[in-house]
Structure 1
Amino acid sequence: MADPLQIVCPHCDAVNRVPATRLADAPSCGACHKPLFAGHPAPLDEERFRKHLRASSIPILVDFWASWCGPCRMMAPEFEAAARELEPNLRLVKVSTEEAPGIAQDLAIRSIPTLALFRGGKEIARQAGAMPARQIVAWARGAAA
């Protein structure tokens, strides 16, 4: 049997060990008992983002956005819809470049919205600009393959 995956709870940030074969069984966090996947992007600050990036066994799709950005606000419900389709195989998170400027600077985020896909703590793909949910899903699945 394969080693269990490490899944970081989007609520309390506890690291949970979940067998890959059980991802689709709606696993709950061993610490806070909330669902590990709720079909919603998790809003993360800089510290939480770095923990998820460091500890997660599944790919993480990040929406870098800002509250003043019109296209970001337009894409928010599309990213939410993509989360319902892509979880539990990917973790979807939102990082505000206003609240986490250090991350935006470290990753050279030049425009928003920007989607970045990470696997094993490393960026593997990036796409700038607002997209509809179906395009987000197709892009993320293709990039994660």
Structure 2
Amino acid sequence: MGLKKKINLTVNDKEYEIEIDIRQSLSEVLRSKLHLTGVKQGCHVGECGACTVLIDGVPTTSCIYLAVWADGKKIKTIEGVGKNGKLSNVQKAFIDEGAVQCGFCTPGLVLTTTALVDSGKDYTDEEIKREISGHLCRCTGYNKIFKATKKALSQRNK
């Protein structure tokens, strides 16, 4: 029937051409077709932030982003944050500050923080809090996540 479509996308610097159901979310495709299970599925309505990925560098909740919209886009998941088996500075900051507990929300938070670091902008405390406010965490408390984000931002030029 007319519900299938081939799309081309770049995920973690690797190019893919895949056939998808046009009704599938990007998170479903990343998890089921590309086996990138670091993309967590929490609320399925774009409120928890667990499924956040970077689409052309912008943090996006992939559970409410249709996969067909990703045609021609560059996507980064948590699997693409580190390089050559080494953690990124953002990942290290989250570990150093104890901002990782169960790990369910961590991939989305790391990607949002990565986008902040990559932006090159300076952020006030209030701006940082606003930027990470789309993520729900039940384990660590937001103070550790805030400290990890600040640490990653302060280390970006080192």
Structure with greater proportional strand content:
1
TM-score if structure 1 supplies the norm length?
0.32
User: Whose Rg is larger?
Assistant: 2
TM-score if structure 2 supplies the norm length?
0.30
